[in-house]
Structure 1
Amino acid sequence: MPAIHFKIDTTSLQELTVHRTTTLPLACYKTDIRQHVQGYIPLHWHDELQFVVMLQGSAWFQVYDQKLSVQQGDGLFINSGSFHMAEAASDGDCTYICLNVAAHFITAHDLYAVCVHPYVQATNLPFIPIPCHEAWGKAIVQSVHKLWQLLQERPPVFEIQLAVQLTSMWQHLITSGFQPQYSQAEMIKNERIKQMLEWIHIHYAEKITLDEIAHAGQLSRSECCRYFRRYFKTSPLNYVADYRIRQSLILLQQDQSVTETAYGVGFNSTSYFIERFRKLMQMTPLAYKKQMNGD
């Protein structure tokens, strides 16, 4: 039964989880996508670099406007500040190791400006697939497993071993043929979509118009629609409706009726809420509520 709450700032979508040990700016953990309270990993971002290695099943990851499948055994690098979400791609377990690490901890301080910063700032590298069938990808996947083991066992001077593995991973990543590029136009586009999403996530329970969403991103109505089609393959108002449904999943697991939930997330019609809910979740809100409550 889903029970994990993914801590995200509802305005900025920045993940609020503290990714570090007591002394080191990194965290490594296993997660099952289906165990999240919403049944998927919602859209978010964080300052840390992220390495994912799929242990069981497969998952769809969306990073900005690109969606890709990560199969069992493969990995994925997600860059600092990149919007991303994940959902299971098939029935059954969907478990992966997730390593989040501060960029400045990847290499020695004097190497950061040359070997890390250009890649962190690159607008053409929001993510990099890590295929385990290629030598460089296999080496990174093995390092993630080793890091997980070190953090569980904590042998003497394991911190030095962590640093060695991280530097090795980064060397394999940046020598695998990906060249950093920087586009001011792409940076502006990413910032505008962030602004529109922040506005929606503040006001989703209110009446929302296309003009208001477009204004939040400093765009025309037509440009606003093009942005949402590019990033989310849907219209702005359809995104709002689906976001309201996602928010309703949490309320339905609490002591609220379907009608109270519908109005609480911004729908002005219970019947329309039920219709949208069934379309997205393949069941009615009442069926979902009973399922989650074990009835």
Structure 2
Amino acid sequence: MQIKNFEIDQRLKELTKHRTVELPIACYETTINKNINGYIPLHWHEELQFVFIVKGEATFQINEESVSVRMGEGLFINSECLHMAEDKNHSGCVYLCLNVSPHFLLPQELYATYVSPYLRATNLPYLLLNSDEVWGATILNAILTIHQLINQKAPYYEMEISISLTSLWKNLIVNGFKLEYDQVEVQKNKRMKEMLNYVHSHFAEKLTLDDIAKAGQLSRSECCRYFKRTLKTTPLSYVNDYRIQNSLILLQQTELNVTEIAYQLGFNSTSYFIDKFRKTTNMTPLAYKKNKLKEKG
């Protein structure tokens, strides 16, 4: 089952509880363009994420890096890394998304040696999983196996999942890369999250570049560099994009009119909101609302 509109708090942390009834693990089949935003918005979570593309192609952004992943390939995304995904070239991309609590990977006695160092490594925000490599193919097959085990729930399936996870994790960590721990990278990630947290907490208010920069304890110019590097946009453009993202939800879920939504989201005029909305979606807010009502009806 796909989550089409997962909740994210002001810090961009996803609030979904990724688990079955018994286990801290979940596996979804996700069609990117079925998300309420038309893409998977920027977020992070404590769970590790493993992706396997079963149709089409996607562009994933993880922290400051962008990577294309095609059908038959996959991706490992580390705990607490900011990430988002977009369908590439209107390919109708579908992928399996396996989220698992780091503490469920191995017994507690092995966690400090074989899990914790990899969560803290600053050179491991993500890892491309290629089926041409034996270790990559093994991980991708494990994702498929776990997806089937969760759906079928055969006797002892919980133990089978645990066995598959151990194999998956071993193949990832014996891949041979040297772990690095760069405190500057840790600080950069922390400051970016603080600025995003500020934007998401105050987006309905009048926001200035000085406000955002102050939240990250940065100068105006350094704040702009952070946003350009991580999100490929300016801080104030991101504010408007985030307001539009929230308007998609309000237009579908409330009886508020366009003017009420514009002012609720922090736009200082209805015409400015409509202009920004049209540039983002190629339609007016009212046309978008009517289209979504027609789809539901």
TM-score, normalisation: structure 1: 0.95
Task: Show the counterpart of 1:243.
Answer: 242
Q: Which amino acid is the alignment partner of residue 198 of structure 2?
A: W
- Structural mapping, 1:1-295, within 5 Å: 4-9=4-9, 11-91=10-90, 93-253=92-252, 254-294=254-294
Q: Quote the Cα distance in structure 2 between the aligned partners of 1:286 and 1:177.
A: 54
- Secondary structure of the 1:125 match is coil
**CA distance, structure 1, for counterparts of residue 260 and residue 91 of structure 2:** 32
Q: Is the 8 A contact 1:38 1:246 kept in 2?
A: yes
Which amino acid in structure 2 is aligned with residue 273 of structure 1?
Answer: F
Contact kept, 8 Å, 1:53 with 1:144, in 2: the verdict is yes
Q: 1:287 to 1:92 in 2, by over 3 A?
A: farther
**Distance in 1 (alpha carbons) for counterparts of 2:94 and 2:286:** 28
For the residue of structure 1 that corresponds to 2:4, the secondary structure is coil
Count residues with an aligned counterpart.
Answer: 293
What displacement does 1:207 show?
0.4
Aligned-pair CA distance for 1:107: 2.0
Separation of aligned partners in 2, 1:278 and 1:69: 28
Equivalent position amino acid for 1:181 in 2: E
SS of residue in 2 equivalent to 1:231: helix
Please give the alpha-carbon distance, in whole angstroms, between the structure 2 residues aligned to 1:75 and 1:263.
Answer: 41
TM-score scaled by structure 2? Answer: 0.94
Deviations 1:54-80 (A, max 9, x none): 112221111111111111111111111
Separation in 2 of the partners of 1:260 and 1:133?
Answer: 53
User: For 1:200, what is the secondary structure of its paired residue?
Assistant: helix
Deviation digits for residues 114-149 of structure 1 (CA, Å, limit 9, x no counterpart): 211111111111111111222211111111000011
- Between the aligned partners of 2:131 and 2:74, the Cα distance in structure 1 is 7
Gap regions ≥5 residues in structure 2:
none
Looking at structure 2, the residues matched to 89 and 291 of structure 1 have their Cα atoms a distance apart, in angstroms, of 24
Amino acid of the structure 2 residue aligned with 1:8: I
In 1, Cα distance between the equivalents of 2:59 and 2:279?
A: 20
1:8-40 Cα offsets, whole Å, 9 max, x none, are 11x121111111122211111212222222222
Q: CA separation in 1, counterparts of 2:256 and 2:39?
A: 22
Q: Which stretches in structure 1 are left out of the alignment for 5+ residues?
A: none
Q: What letter is aligned with 1:290?
A: K
CA RMSD of aligned residues (A): 1.6
Runs of 4+ in 1 over 3 A off after TM superposition: none
Distance change in 2, residues 1:193/1:66 (3 Å): same
